[in-house]
Chain A
Amino acid sequence: MIPSFIVENSPALMVIVPLVAAFITPFIGRISSGIRSLWVGGAMAVTSAITLILAFDVYSAGTRLYVFGARAASAAIPPDSGGIPIRIIFEVDPMSALMLVITAVSGFAIVLYSLSSERSHTGLESYYTLYLLMITGILGMVSTGDIFNFFVFLEILSLASAGLIAYRIDGGVAVEAALKYFVLSTIGALAILVAIGIYYGEYNALNMAMIAARMQFSLLDQVALVLIIAALAMKCGAVPMHFWTPDAYSMAPSSITALLVVASQASLYGLFRTVFSLYNVTLNAVTVGWLIIILGVLSMVVGVTMAIPQKNVKRLMAYHAVSQTGYMLLGVGVGLAVLGNQSLLDAFGYMAMEGGIFHIINHAMYKGLLFLTAGAIFLRIGTYNLNRMGGLGHSMKWTMVFFVIGALAIAGIPPFNGFASKLMIYESVFVFNPLLAVIAMVVSILTLASFVKVFHSIFMGPKLPEFADVKEAPMPMLLGMGILALVVVLFGLFPGIVVESLITPAAHALVDQGAYISAVLGGA
């Protein structure tokens, strides 16, 4: 049914298609806006389709390799190169495939949404170009098996995100947010480059599997590990390096904010990939695991407590994003902390990791949904200030429904997807350390409280006179939100199937370093 050409070349095609579309978009936009919308929507749809095909292939048949520029995969490791892959290899294992699914679904929903939400702005050609480049960056980051290639895609993602965060330049505040984000991410990226240099100097390899196979955890490796995990933790917004997050999230256009969430998850993916696939048991799992757990707990607590007094709805949601990132760090950190001990890992470690990884996909969906609803509200009433809102439930019924779905999901209320992943985290973390589970639950309650406040302020109450003629959000925006809401509800209703088919393979792929290495290097 699907041509084998596409399946075989899907890792390359999923990068090629958005790139080619991005290169042409600036000129398509000069013809007419309708054609541009069609072009961008079509390109994104094709990208999503290819990505989903690849992900499906990976889930059904196992890890996929794609060697750039060599006739045969064996040519990537010629006999006299000392067993080192000399070419860039895309290595898509189930964990990568999970991120690919997230990106494809979110990206498609968000592009549908932004086709109408940004209609009245200038510079839309650049907007869509950067959007497609951002998608490319995320896709490349999560599927590459080469650490320098990871850095390059990280930079593409950073530049595109920074440009898009500053999209609404007229107030200047958005530019300030973009500036802060970009300075930090540049410094972080340079730290990663230093780490890459250290790996290169020690092992003379750039392929992650090769570095992992040779990893010795010498002092230099420890320095490199710290440089990478600090930079990536900063880029995914862990407290106390989260300061850019509320700025950037609140100032970017809403559709971009929803994608920035996915971008943060991609950084999180990089963090997990480094810790699990690059180092795995060689590192002092307890220390690093506890460091990640502490970062996670801090993120959860500080994020949610900072969210409660916020007046700006997007800023509030951004702090919640920080808080939810904490759950993922907590879940995976617990998995890491018991990495060396197989019995503990089987008892609750896998469960915690599955919870954390499941939370990644859930968070991308519901937080994206929430940001999109915030954008829809902003489109109609022109403010993010909670104090000036009220009574919108009368006129924006669908938006309200979607908001309720998202809010209940983030608060972990059954039957939405947040509940399933949070339940898994609570259960497993409780076995590991009861205090952490209690903290997680309290944070969840505070999240609910905070969203009750938001819901009340935006939608409840009588119809306010200044918003008398507010209409429902336009159809494409509802469609975009609808896709995400559908995913939220489906994942919430059938978590078992999702966990079994998507999450468990991902968690095992992450933990099983041997499989990751042997996928590239063969045998061994």
Chain B
Amino acid sequence: MRKILTTIIFVVLATGLCAIPAFLAFGEPAASEMDQYFIGHGQSEAAANNIVTSIVFDYRGFDTLGESVVLFTAVVGVGLMFRSMKGGKEQ
């Protein structure tokens, strides 16, 4: 029973995901106004040759802050896991 259900779930999910290669063309992005803007103006606005960097740190700099914070969160979380329990005993 469980196996059948699992198989059905996987088949349905695979079929659903197949919509991606069926409707999105690889190599020919349909619309790219935003990226054309980045390519065309990124060099002069952010004064950086690497467009990816100018997106990462200028146009979408806030995302990058969030990403750094994710790493920081992970470090704090790992530190919480491996903390020394010498101080007050936990309840």
- A and B directly contacting (CB within 8 A): yes
Residues of A within 8 A of B37 (CB): 78, 80-82, 84, 86
Measured as residues with beta carbon below 8 angstroms from the partner, the interface class of chain B is 35 or more
Using CB atoms, name the residue of chain A closest to B85: A122
Closest to B67 in A: A152
Q: Is the CB of A223 within 8 A of B16?
A: yes
Give every chain B residue within 8 A of A162 (Cβ-Cβ).
Answer: 77
27 examples of A-B residue contacts, CB within 8 angstroms = A69-B61, A80-B41, A81-B33, A86-B37, A87-B59, A88-B63, A120-B91, A121-B88, A121-B90, A123-B80, A126-B83, A133-B76, A148-B63, A152-B67, A153-B66, A155-B66, A159-B74, A163-B73, A167-B80, A170-B90, A175-B81, A202-B24, A202-B30, A204-B31, A219-B23, A223-B17, A226-B16
A169 at the interface (CB under 8 A from B): yes
Within B12-51, the residues touching A (CB, 8 Å) are 16-17, 19-20, 23-24, 29-38, 40-41
Question: Is A127 in the interface zone, CB < 8 Å from B?
Answer: yes
**A153–B81 Cα gap in the complex (Å)?**
22
Most A-side CB within 10 Å, residue of B29, B36, B91: B91
- Cβ of B62 within 8 Å of any chain A Cβ, yes or no, is yes
Give the nearest-CB partner of B74 in chain A: A159
Task: Report B-chain residues with C-beta under 8 Å of the C-beta of A88.
Answer: 59-63
Interface residues of B (CB under 8 A from A): 16-17, 19-20, 23-24, 29-38, 40-41, 58-63, 65-67, 69-70, 72-74, 76-77, 79-81, 83-88, 90-91
Give Cα A82–Cα B69 distance, bound, in whole angstroms. Answer: 32
A interface with B by C-beta (< 8 Å): 19, 22-23, 26, 68-69, 78, 80-84, 86-88, 120-123, 126-127, 129-130, 133, 136, 140, 146, 148-149, 152-153, 155-156, 159-160, 162-163, 166-170, 175, 198, 201-206, 218-220, 223, 226, 378, 382
**Inter-chain contact B67/A204, CB cutoff 8 Å:** no
- Chain A's closest residue to B66 (CB) is A152
Residues of A within 8 A of B29 (CB): 201, 204
Contact B80 A127 (CB under 8 A): yes
**Is the beta-carbon distance between A130 and B73 smaller than 8 angstroms?**
yes
Main secondary structure, interface of B, reads helix
Q: Which residues of chain A are within 8 angstroms of B85 by Cβ–Cβ distance?
A: 122, 170
Q: Known interface pairs A122-B85, A223-B16. Does A149 touch B69 (Cβ–Cβ under 8 Å)?
A: no
Contact (Cβ within 8 A) A120 B72: no
B79 partner residues in chain A, CB cutoff 8 A: 123, 126
Task: Rank and list the top 4 A-B pairs by shortest CB-CB distance, nearest first.
Answer: A82-B33, A163-B77, A152-B66, A81-B37
Question: What separation, in Å, do the CA atoms of A83 and B72 have in the docked complex?
Answer: 35
Residues of A within 8 Å of B58, CB to CB, are: 69
Q: Provide the residues of chain B in CB contact with A170, threshold 8 Å.
A: 85, 90
**Nearest chain A CB to B46's CB is how many angstroms away?**
10
Find chain B residues with CB under 8 A from A19 CB.
Answer: 65, 69
Contacts of A202 in B (CB 8 A): 24, 30-31
Q: Closest chain B residue to A168 by CB distance?
A: B90
Residues of B within 8 A of A122 (CB): 83-88, 90
**Besides A198-B20, A202-B30, A202-B31, 19 new A-B residue pairs in contact (Cβ under 8 A), listed by A number:** A23-B72, A80-B33, A80-B37, A80-B41, A81-B37, A84-B33, A86-B37, A88-B62, A121-B88, A126-B79, A136-B69, A152-B67, A153-B66, A166-B77, A168-B91, A170-B85, A204-B30, A206-B34, A219-B23
> Are B34 and A205 in contact, with the CB atoms below 8 A?
yes
**Residue from B60, B66, B87 within 8 A of A156 (CB atoms):** B66
Determine whether the beta carbon of B62 is less than 8 Å from that of A69: yes
